[in-house]
Each structure stands twice: as C-alpha cells, then as structure tokens.
Structure 1
Amino acid sequence: MAQPADPSRRSSRPKTAPDAPESAAGNRAAAQRLKMRRELASAAMELFATKGYEATTVDEIAAAAGVARRTFFRHFRSKEEAIFPDHDDTLVRAEAVLNAAPPHEHPLDTVCRGIKEVMRMYASSPAVSVERYRLTREVPTLREREIASVARYERLFTRYLLGHFDERDHHAGNDDPLLAEVAASAVVTAHNHVLRRWLRAGGEGDVEAQLDHAFAIVRETFGSGIGAGRTAPASPSAAEPPALVSMAPKDEVLVAVARTDAPLDDVMRTIERALQTRRA
C-alpha cells in the first residue's frame, strides 16, 4: 500500500504552480483530439451511407474531413475504427466514476453509474447513433469491432466488482466471486438491451429512465447476494469497527450493532438473515 507523503517534504518544495497551465494545455489538446476524431468519424459515416462501407477508402475519408491521410492514421488504425470515435474516452470516464466512488456505495450501484457514461455517449447524438447501429448490423467487420468495444467495458466492471472481494475466497457459503462476475455481465447485458431497444425506436424516448428500470432489476436479482457470504472478523479493532456486526439471538431478543454510516440495506439484510437463522 502506498505510504502517505511526508508533510515536511511537501512543505519544502518550491511554491510554484506549473500544474494548472500544463493541465489546461492537456485538456485543450484532448478536446482538439476528440474534435478531430469526431470530424473524421462524421466524414466516414457520410461516405459509408452514400458509397457503402466496402467502396469507401481511407483517402476519401481524410479528404472529406479536409486532412491528410497521415492525420487520419494519427487518430485511427483503420476505417472501421473511425466509426467508433468516443469509446476510448468513454472508457476513461467510466473508469473515473469507479475510482471516485464513495466508500460506502454498493459496488453494483457504482458499476451502474459507470456504464451510464456509455449510454450518455450514444444519447448525446441520437441520429449518429442510430445510423451507426444500422451500419454495424449490415457490416460484419463493424459488428465485430463493436463487440470488442463492449467487451472492454465488461472487463473493466468485472475487475471492479471482483476487486471488492477475494477471488480466491471460495469457502462454503461465499458466492461473492461468482456473483461479482455474473453481476458485471448482467449490468452490461441490461445496458445493451436498453440501448438496442432505444436505437431500434430511432433514438426516441427517455433512455436513461429505461436504463434505471433495467438496473433496478439487476440490483434486485444480484445485489442482495453480494457480500452475504462474508463473515465479520472475530476480534474487530476498536479503532476500525466493522460496517455491521450482528450478535446471536438470546431469549428471543436480537441485538445488532451497526456503524452510523453503514448502508441501511446492508443493516436490514443482516438482521433478516439473523432472524431467519433463529427461526430455523
């Protein structure tokens, strides 16, 4: 684990502020890069629609965008890649959502928020997204490229969920590793189902509300099980109390001790499990 920085070393550094200009310059460069990628993608899609995918060349795409061939290849490795200009940036944004998640947010909720960045990418340009969908259905090469892009998101979310549980911890009753992997796939599948339905409807309707409904189903199906197989430490530290500890029922009374910042759903699930154990 990384050690905290030494305050004395931090204070001894010269008080200069080069980071802000450098950061601003980096942001401008990134924005210009994305703008050029989108212009090339727009030119490519117009040519694909009028000439057909197979008949369109990289030289024609570059010329339509008003740039040289070498400029095209600075941004894309092939013409099929040009039709998906935003996936790299969206993947970065989705990962940023995961990295900035509040410590007590259910990891499945975090993943659902992360994949919303993907939906927002499509929803920001409905007409382009609908046309892209039509092309990917007609051109196998583009369909394969889209599948590969989706797989990157699924790997990201699976790693995130598995990172909250010990993948090697397969003791009896602990299904967290299995649930984490299945839940990540379920989130991606739910997202893709809603996205396809929205695209087939011509990009009409409140797609984010539809997505929230789908995620509620995933959360209800998988969310309550994740974490159920873990046990609290035998001797919790006073300095670091566990998120939730339930004490064995005695004389028909159940005593539960919870941190004030423990999620209410987790508290209720633990109490429910303890009551069920008592009744059994």
Structure 2
Amino acid sequence: MPKAVKSSRTPARSDAPESAAGGRAAAQRLKMRRELAAAAMELFAAKGYEATTVDEIAARAGVARRTFFRHFRSKEEAIFPDHDDTLVRAEAVLNAAPAHEHPLDTVCRGIKEVMRMYAARPDISVARYKLTREVPTLREAEIASVARYERLFTRYLLGHFDEHVHADDANDDPLLAEVAASAVVTAHNHVLRRWLRAGGQGDVEAQLDHAFAIVRRTFGSGIGAGHTADAKPAEGAPAVTAAAHDEVLVTVARTDAPLHEVMRTIEQALKER
C-alpha cells in the first residue's frame, strides 16, 4: 500500500483574528490619545498653556513621558487627538462614493465626519475652541489640520471634472478643484465656529446642509459624476439630458431625477449654445 504523502501546502489562515486585533489596537490607541488630550486640556485650563509641560501631561494621564511621545510630537498636538482618524474616515467616504453621486456632494459627506468628531464631545470641543483662540501656537496647529482635509478633497475633485465642459480650459482644473474644495471646508468651518460660539447648541447638521447647498450652486458646474462627460450613469441612477436648438430647449429627465440635477443640466445646455 502506498504511503500517504503529506501536503507541503500551508493551510489557509483567516485574517479575521488579525483584523480584530488591529481594530482593538486602533481603539486602544485612540483611547490613550483622548486621555492624554483630556489631561492636557485640564492642565492648560488650570495653569495656562505656556506653563504646562509634557511631563505634567503624561503624569496627569498616568503614563510615562515616552508614552506621550508615541502618540504626539508636541503638547500642541495633544489638543487635536482625533484628526488622524477622522481624516481616514473622510477618505473612506470618498473611496466608497457611488458612481452617480455628484463629487461635491461626496466631499460634503466626507467633511461631515469632521463635524461629527466635534459634535461627539461638545463640551471638550467648546473648551478647545476657546483655548485655540487664546494661544497662537494652537491656532496654527489647527490651521495645519484643516489644510490636510483641503488637500484630500482637492485631489478627489480634480479627478472628477467634466472633460466636455472644460475641453478648452483644462489647465484651470487644478485651480477650480482647489477653490471648490476650499469652499466646502470654509463653509464647514463657518458653521462649526458658529456652533461652537453658541456653546455647541443647535441643529448643526441642518446648518451644514444649508451651507453646502450654497457651495453646490456656486461651484457645481463642470464637476460631474464620473471623470468624463461620456461616462454612463450607474444602473438605477436618475438620468437627465438636455439639448438646445435655436430658441427651444428640450430636456428629458426621469421622474425620480433630483431637481438640482435637472437644473444643472439645463444650465450647461444653455451655456453651450
């Protein structure tokens, strides 16, 4: 009887345990960052920003100095513990966007992750806002964080220009993408500051949606869902077409097409006459 031959192949392993371990590690990291940030806020409020040292922050959080520097490069960074994770979530929103969604709408959904970060802990967010108004160094760190979101959104919008609309001035695409991304971030920050000055009170989601509608009306033309004008809408997506002939404009739209898509298509057809 022939001997059984042992397989040299390694049995397939599931990535689930590793993924779970990675998730736990990320949660523990964020927890420690928030504890260090809370300790820093307490000390800044009690002693002032300049008088507080990293050693004191670490001691207040019950960890060693080296643990602090594993999470933050400086004490001003400890004021913003959630921005790294929020940037990852915002990018995930962009990457998972449906093909038929207007890119500006996608970017607006992405930056809502930032507002949710602030709204999750309004008392800390309000205290941090007051502190950043008083300490120029913290204000500069906040501005640097905002710039990261603008760069992310600019890259995304630059890949979604309607090539038919911009056939003659494609060199302007980087400018238009940066201006549109900046407009979304500025609208968000305007609403956020107003909400923080009100002590974290009010329907901030509704205020954001109103601000984003203004940005969409202003910068929506020329930035389309999909990279080219010939791209087909996703299956089930509302379709809208328009054609201008002499003094007559003919528009064909599905009954479930959003009004803003119909209006945008009409405006584009009139411009091309």
TM-score range, shorter chain: 0.7 to 0.9
Q: Any idea what SS the aligned residue of 1:50 has?
A: helix
- Residue in 2 that maps onto 1:186: 183
| Distance in 1 separating the partners of 2:78 and 2:247 | 69
Instruction: Note if contact 1:166-1:177 (Cα within 8 Å) is conserved in structure 2.
Output: no
Instruction: Note if contact 2:90-2:111 (Cα within 8 Å) is conserved in structure 1.
Output: yes
Structure 2 residue runs of 5 or longer lacking an equivalent are 1-8, 233-238
Q: 1:75 aligns with which of 71, 75, 100?
A: 71
| Distance in 1 separating the partners of 2:78 and 2:39 | 9
- Residue in 2 that maps onto 1:34: 30
Instruction: Please say if 1:46 is aligned against 2:42.
Output: yes
Instruction: Note if contact 2:150-2:181 (Cα within 8 Å) is conserved in structure 1.
Output: yes
Question: CA distance change for structure 1 residues 14 and 200 in 2, over 3 Å: closer, same or farther?
Answer: same
Q: CA deviation at 1:153?
A: 0.4
Question: CA distance change for structure 1 residues 138 and 277 in 2, over 3 Å: closer, same or farther?
Answer: closer
| Distance in 1 separating the partners of 2:202 and 2:35 | 27
Instruction: Note if contact 1:176-1:227 (Cα within 8 Å) is conserved in structure 2.
Output: no
- Residue in 2 that maps onto 1:92: 88
Question: CA distance change for structure 1 residues 224 and 51 in 2, over 3 Å: closer, same or farther?
Answer: same
Question: CA distance change for structure 1 residues 232 and 62 in 2, over 3 Å: closer, same or farther?
Answer: closer
Q: CA deviation at 1:270?
A: 3.3
TM-score computed with the length of structure 1 as normaliser: 0.80
Q: 2:55 aligns with which of 59, 72, 88?
A: 59
- Residue in 2 that maps onto 1:270: 265
> In angstroms, what is the RMSD of aligned CA positions?
3.3
Q: CA deviation at 1:112?
A: 0.1
Instruction: Please say if 1:118 is aligned against 2:114.
Output: yes
Q: CA deviation at 1:213?
A: 0.9
- Residue in 2 that maps onto 1:8: none
Summarize the alignment of residues 1-280 of structure 1 with structure 2, pairs less than 5 Å apart. Answer: 16-165=12-161, 171-172=167-168, 176-227=173-224, 249=245, 254=250, 265-266=260-261, 269-271=264-266, 273-274=268-269
Instruction: Note if contact 1:154-1:188 (Cα within 8 Å) is conserved in structure 2.
Output: yes
| Distance in 1 separating the partners of 2:178 and 2:152 | 11
- Residue in 1 that maps onto 2:6: none
- Aligned-residue sequence identity (percent) comes to 82
Instruction: Note if contact 1:179-1:225 (Cα within 8 Å) is conserved in structure 2.
Output: no
- Residues 181-212 of structure 1 deviation map (CA, whole Å, 9 limit, x = unaligned): 21111100000000111111111111111111
Question: CA distance change for structure 1 residues 269 and 196 in 2, over 3 Å: closer, same or farther?
Answer: closer
- Structure of higher RCO (CA pairs closer than 8 Å, 6+ residues apart): 2
| Distance in 2 separating the partners of 1:262 and 1:245 | 11
Q: Any idea what SS the aligned residue of 2:191 has?
A: helix
Structure 1 residue runs of 5 or longer lacking an equivalent are 1-12, 238-242
